[in-house]
């Protein structure tokens, strides 16, 4: 006869995990609505018969999850998590991870290329006269920022955010913002490289025209060309030694994407 399966070991859970599960259930059930204050630490200690460390650890986890906001001097309040707040919370950890993974920048560039090409195609399919007008306004802001590095980079990022917004999908918009943020924070010196903004403006104009025409294939191709060119420049700049010479400064072109 076959031997009976070995019994599964009973895993002891930390008290803070038990407290966390109960608080999450209370929030998800609607007993605590967004804006409501949680009971005080002492009340929670009495309710669950646990010590202060378990309560505080559970509360800190809830805050990292975006379910509560803890402010000094007052009780924690329930918050309504949004895609923006969730992506923002993981941004710091994402940048740290990318910096420790071999080839992290290359992986981020590949992910952004696939993501934004798809975004351009979606924008071409879902664009309306109003959102296309907003995209043209973002393009004009890029033109007006020419010669001002900080303004140009900010306008460039706003242009890409507008394309994401044209999807009409809040999660896509938040992920796009997160990816732009990760790229900027991971290698700010590359994103803000000085150079001739004219090429970036020409590429932005091609993307805008294709989206305005509702041509998803052309929009995707224009975005592919745009980011591939920027990615090649990132690689060139990464290979340059720190402290560029006047000659390398002269040959640099913008890494804006």
Query: pLDDT tens digits for 33-73?
Result: 889 999 999 999 999 999 999 999 999 999 888 888 888 87
Count CB neighbours of 164 within 10 A. 22
Q: What is the DSSP string of 58-127?
A: HHHHHHHTTSEE--TTS--EE----HHHHHHHHHHHHHHHHHHSTTHHHHHHHHHHHHHHHHHHHHHHH-
- Asked whether the predicted pLDDT for residue 256 surpasses 90, the reply is no
Architecture of domain 15-78: Orthogonal Bundle (1.10)
Averaged pLDDT of the chain: 82
Reported as a single tens digit per residue, the pLDDT across 195-228 is 557 888 999 999 999 999 999 999 999 999 998 8
3-state SS class at 31? coil
3-state secondary structure of 37: strand
Q: Which among 79, 91, 75, 78 is positioned nearest to 42, based on CA atoms?
A: 75
Contact 85, 177 (CB under 8 A): no
DSSP-assigned letter for residue 145 = T
Cα-based angle 186, 187, 191 (whole degrees, multiple of 5): 125
The yes-or-no verdict on residue 96 having pLDDT over 60 is yes
At 85, the pLDDT band (50, 70, 90 cuts) reads confident
At the fourth CATH level, the homologous superfamily of domain 84-251 is GntR ligand-binding domain-like (1.20.120.530)
Most confident of 38-47, 128-137, 180-189: 128-137
Residue 29 has pLDDT above 50, yes or no: yes
Domain spans of the chain? 15-78, 84-251
Identify the residue with better confidence: 247 or 119: 119
Look at the block and give the residue holding tokens 């296309």: 132
- Is 236 a residue whose pLDDT tops 90? no
């Amino acid at each position: 006869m076959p031997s009976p399966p070995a019994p599964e070991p009973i895993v002891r859970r930390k008290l803070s995990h038990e407290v966390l599960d109960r608080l999450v259930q209370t929030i998800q059930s609607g007993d605590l609505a967004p804006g409501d204050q949680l009971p005080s630490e002492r009340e929670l200690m009495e309710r669950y018969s646990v010590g202060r460390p378990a309560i505080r650890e559970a509360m800190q986890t809830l805050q990292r999850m975006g379910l509560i906001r803890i402010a000094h001097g007052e009780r924690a309040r329930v918050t309504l998590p949004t895609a923006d707040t969730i992506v923002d919370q993981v941004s710091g950890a994402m940048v740290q991870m990318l910096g420790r993974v071999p080839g992290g920048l290359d992986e981020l560039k590949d992910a952004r290329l696939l993501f934004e090409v798809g975004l351009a195609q979606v924008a071409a399919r879902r664009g309306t006269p109003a959102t296309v007008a907003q995209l043209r306004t973002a393009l004009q802001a890029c033109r007006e920022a020419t010669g001002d590095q900080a303004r140009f980079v900010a306008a460039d990022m706003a242009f890409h955010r507008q394309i994401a917004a044209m999807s009409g999908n809040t999660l896509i918009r938040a992920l796009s913002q997160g990816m732009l943020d990760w790229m900027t924070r991971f290698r700010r010196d590359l994103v803000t490289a000085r150079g001739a903004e004219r090429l970036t403006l020409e590429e932005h104009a091609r993307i805008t025209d294709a989206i305005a025409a509702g041509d998803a294939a052309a929009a995707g191709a224009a975005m592919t060309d745009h980011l591939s060119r920027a990615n090649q420049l990132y690689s060139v700049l990464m290979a340059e030694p720190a402290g560029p010479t006047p000659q390398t400064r002269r040959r640099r072109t913008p890494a804006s994407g």
